[in-house]
Chains A and B, each alone.
Chain A
């Protein structure tokens, strides 16, 4: 019993919370506070932080260059999420319906790529997409013009890389929500005159919405903050907001601006998530 007669938690219960609480305070609350403070400070002439309060770091976001990078990042993250949803839903549906003996093997196959470092997998994609890479050679062999995706269409390449990288994050929650659906519900829909398509639209899809939401959030947030994929594919010349932030803390030595960017990104993600929950009309995940 962790609650007493009046519904209050016991003292022992709070004692058990202390380690977690300490962790969160030391490694989340304090750093976040420091970063928030930094975002209102100024950059020193040779880097470093000068504690003169200013809103200038946030105002700088109004510059067309930075605004464009931010909007572009949002666009790519949204495209990645939609693509993962379109590709991942049929896969998750199949996994949820396949005979149980094969299901675990297939789920394992879905996760196996994660045993390889993300950096290595991204490099592998670079070898596929680059000039005279695997993709170009396949096209040439088929007597088609080589697409040279990595250099001619770096944004599309980044999008491909992100979809590849985060597809499993979409599939797993979708699978979880589809797998627990009672197959009798689908039979009931058929029985009541719903065609397979109508059954999907009126029964399967609405019941899988929690999975859709969870999957979308799990894909959208890391896509928006993507760093490795645009960095490797763009050779440092293609910037998503994650790279911009990385630059501020690295080469540009502008920690205050980097902090401000991070906070804007966090706020956007938070607002986006809340809006998405509202739109889907689901509180429970």
Chain B
């Protein structure tokens, strides 16, 4: 096989309807071999359906899916070189851990000795050596999760599909499994398609992410692409936190625009492509951690806002200020917690200046347009 095709997944204008409901609406994806690719979105956005289309549990209503360069329309799941880790794990309750993991190899009619050998290997890969005789019901959630992973990996699929595999685990175990998954994916080098609604998980694990909403892909990019350059309000809101300021274009300047924020006096600069005209309504997004907060006035002309601290929250790694600029304009500011000696928290009701660099502003189209 052509090396560039190994583990590659292409979706071409794939649509899936259930009766009157369109779960997936004309999606096109090109997932490279060996990539850790995440489908990220809120529940009901079509990410699991997309995964099930790739696995073969659902047939596309229209469009085409190619696995390793070959169209798989009409090929049932058991003849696809793809394995799935299910959200519920779907371990066979009547079989032992070994039998669960060996199931795929048994279906391929491998000799018993060969199956045992491979099962042992993969058990040690997922750190479950010695638990092979147990039934799934005798394992903890984290261990069951590893069995599900081992059961898929032992078949050496070209592509591994993971449907919210860590959703049922508690926070600490989830963090640990995230690291193990990432290490494992590098180790085995196969394509992972990972479905999650947890943006932090997607950011920390993925090479690339497709953000989905209402059956459509809104943006595809690396984690930093999506965080630094979201292309719409939804992506900026779903990935990380953002302040959204409704604004009007006031004028052009070199390499960008000046904006007048609704509910504030000052003019704000933002870099922008051409194609905006004065008077146009836009949205300016700024990440809370990109904002500087200070009781001392910065030298004019400054790029920022003036307001009053209405709430201070201590969040451990950071301090979160809610600053009231006007009745209609609240701003969230994150300040790293560098130790109380160096940066004593600004008390409530203080008058403060919030500033940011023009390049930290993200210009988005107004939702009404």
- Chain A positions 16 through 50: 1 when the CB is less than 8 Å from some CB of chain B, otherwise 0: 00000000000000000000000000000000000
Q: Give a binary string over B73-91; 1 marks a CB under 8 Å from any A CB, 0 the rest.
A: 0001111001110101011
- Does the CB pair A207–B104 fall under 8 Å? no
Instruction: Digitize A185-215: 1 where CB-to-B-CB distance is under 8 Å, 0 elsewhere.
Output: 1011111111100100011001100000000
Whether B92 and A187, one on each chain, are in contact in the complex, defined by CB atoms closer than 8 angstroms, is no
Cβ of A182 within 8 Å of any chain B Cβ, yes or no, is yes
Contact between B92 and A188, CB atoms less than 8 A apart: yes
Q: Is the CB of B78 within 8 A of A195?
A: yes
Within residues 158 to 191 of chain A, which ones have a CB less than 8 A from any CB in chain B? Answer: 182, 184-185, 187-191
0/1 string, B45-80, CB within 8 A of A gives 1: 000000000011100000000000000000011110
Is A192's CB under 8 angstroms from B93's CB?
Answer: no
Q: Report yes or no: B86 in contact with A188, Cβ–Cβ below 8 A.
A: yes
Q: Once the chains are docked, how many angstroms separate the CA of A198 from the CA of B108?
A: 11
Report A-chain residues with C-beta under 8 Å of the C-beta of B155.
Answer: 192-193
The 8 A CB mask of B100-141 against A (1 = contact, 0 = none) is 000110011000000000000000000000000000000000
Once the chains are docked, how many angstroms separate the CA of A190 from the CA of B86? 13
Q: Taking the nearest CB of chain A, how far is it from the CB of B246, in angstroms?
A: 45
The reply on B151 being an interface residue by CB < 8 A is: yes
Cβ-closest chain B residue relative to A207? B94
Residues on B with C-beta less than 8 A from A184 are 86, 88, 90
Task: Knowing A184-B86, A187-B77, A188-B86, say if A194 contacts B103 (CB, 8 Å).
Answer: yes
Which B residue's beta carbon lies closest to that of A193? B107
Cβ contacts under 8 Å, A206 to chain B: 94
**Residues from 102 to 118 in A contacting B, C-beta threshold 8 Å:** none
CB distance from B103 to the nearest CB of A (A): 5
Known: A193-B108, A206-B94. A187 touches B86 (CB 8 A): yes
Contact present for B94 and A189 (CB under 8 Å) = no
A192/B103 in contact, CB under 8 A: yes
- Determine the distance from Cα of A207 to Cα of B94 in the docked complex, in whole angstroms: 7
Closest B residue by C-beta to A192: B104
How far is B86's CA from A206's CA once the two chains are assembled, in angstroms? 21
Contact between A194 and B107, CB atoms less than 8 A apart:
yes
Closest CB in chain B relative to A113 CB, distance in Å = 34
Chain A residues closer than 8 Å to B151, beta-carbon distance: 188, 192
| B77 partner residues in chain A, CB cutoff 8 A | 187, 190-191
In Å, the complex CA distance between A189 and B57 comes to 12
- Contacting pair B103 A189 (CB below 8 A): yes
The number of residues on chain B lying at the interface, defined by a beta carbon within 8 Å of a beta carbon of chain A, is 24
Do the beta carbons of B90 and A187 come within 8 Å of each other? yes
Inter-chain CA distance A207–B44, complex, in Å, is 31
A184–B86 Cα gap in the complex (Å)? Answer: 8
By the criterion CB–CB under 8 Å, are B88 and A191 in contact? no
In the complex, which residues of chain A have a beta carbon less than 8 angstroms from the beta carbon of B88? Answer: 182, 184
Chain B residues in 8 Å Cβ range of A194: 78, 103, 107
Q: Which residue of B lies closest to A187 (CB)?
A: B57
Rounded to whole angstroms, the CA-CA distance of A206 and B96 in the bound complex is 13
A232–B237 Cα gap in the complex (Å)? 77
Residues of chain B within 8 A of A202, CB atoms compared: 103
A192 touches B94 (CB 8 A): no
Contact status A185-B76, CB under 8 Å: no
Max count, chain B CB within 10 A of own CB: residue among A182, A184, A193, A203: A193
- The CA-CA distance from A192 to B99 in the complex, in Å, is 12
* B84 adjacent to A188 (CB under 8 Å): yes
- Known pairs A188-B84, A190-B76, A191-B55; A207 contacts B93 (CB<8 A): yes
Residues of A within 8 A of B91 (CB): 188
**Do A193 and B86 have beta carbons less than 8 Å apart?**
no
**Cross-chain contact B107 with A191 (CB below 8 angstroms):** no
Residues in A with CB closer than 8 Å to B103 are 189, 192, 194, 202
Nearest CB to that of B82 among chain A residues?
A191
User: Closest chain B residue to A181 by CB distance?
Assistant: B93
Q: B361 CB to closest chain A CB, in angstroms?
A: 46
User: How far does the alpha carbon of A110 sit from the alpha carbon of B56 in the complex, in Å?
Assistant: 35
A130 to B328, CA, bound (A): 89
Residues of chain A within 8 A (CB-CB) of B107 are 192-194, 198
Cβ–Cβ contact A185 & B90, under 8 A: yes
Q: How far is the CA of A103 from the CA of B79 in the complex (A)?
A: 32
**Alpha-carbon distance between A189 and B88 when the two chains are bound, in angstroms:** 14
Q: Nearest chain A CB to B347's CB is how many angstroms away?
A: 54
Q: Which chain B residues border A198 with CB–CB below 8 Å? A: 107
Closest A residue, CB atoms, query B103 = A192
Contacts of A189 in B (CB 8 A): 92, 103
Q: How far is the CA of A105 from the CA of B298 in the complex (A)?
A: 75
Contact A191 B92 (CB under 8 A): no
Which A residues are CB-close (under 8 A) to B86? Answer: 184, 187-188
Q: Which residues of A contact B56 (CB under 8 A)?
A: 190
| Interchain CA distance A231-B67 in the complex, whole Å | 66
How far, in whole Å, are A246 and B221 apart by their CA atoms in the complex? 82
Q: From B148, which residue of chain A is reached at the shortest CB distance?
A: A188
A177 to nearest B CB, angstroms?
Answer: 12
Q: What's the nearest-Cβ distance from chain B to residue A157, in Å?
A: 40
Asked whether, in the complex, the Cβ of B104 is within 8 Å of the Cβ of A193, the reply is yes
Query: Which residue on A lies nearest to B106, using beta carbons?
Result: A202
- Chain A: minimal CB distance from B96 (Å): 13
Residue of B whose beta carbon sits closest to that of A184 = B90
- Residue of A188, A193, A207 touching B90 (CB-CB under 8 A): A188
Report the 4 A-B pairs with minimum CB-CB distance, sorted nearest first.
A192-B104, A188-B90, A184-B90, A193-B107
27 A-B contact pairs sorted by A residue (CB < 8 Å): A182-B88, A182-B90, A184-B86, A184-B88, A185-B90, A185-B92, A187-B57, A187-B90, A188-B84, A188-B92, A190-B77, A190-B78, A191-B55, A191-B57, A191-B78, A191-B82, A191-B83, A191-B84, A192-B83, A193-B79, A193-B104, A193-B108, A194-B78, A198-B107, A203-B92, A206-B94, A207-B92
Extra 4 A-B pairs, beta carbons < 8 Å, given A188-B90, A189-B103: A185-B90, A185-B92, A190-B56, A190-B76
